[in-house]
Amino acid sequence: MDYETFFATIKNQKPKGMSLAKYLITHPSRTHSRSTLEAVAKNLKQCQNQKRLPSGVVMNCVKEYFDFVEVDND
């Protein structure tokens, strides 16, 4: 998955006007603590500013809250 697809998916699935941290914390199937989700949201913002994908640990956490579709370029 590339950087543009990753952040476009988050932007399209998150309600407009709601912060990422609030979305993650109020998600109905939340499995992480509030402090963890706040750290994940902060890390994602840093990654977006640096135009890079987050680490594997953060990616695994975020994949539980958003539906990422893997596209095969065959």
- pLDDT given for residue 74 in this prediction: 43
Q: What is the number of H-type helices and E-type strands within the chain? A: 4, 0
Decide: 5 and 59 in contact? Cβ < 8 Å. Answer: no
Per-residue pLDDT reduced to its tens digit, 21-36 = 999 999 998 889 999 9
**Predicted structure pTM score:** 0.82
pLDDT at 69: 74
At residue 14, the pLDDT reads 92
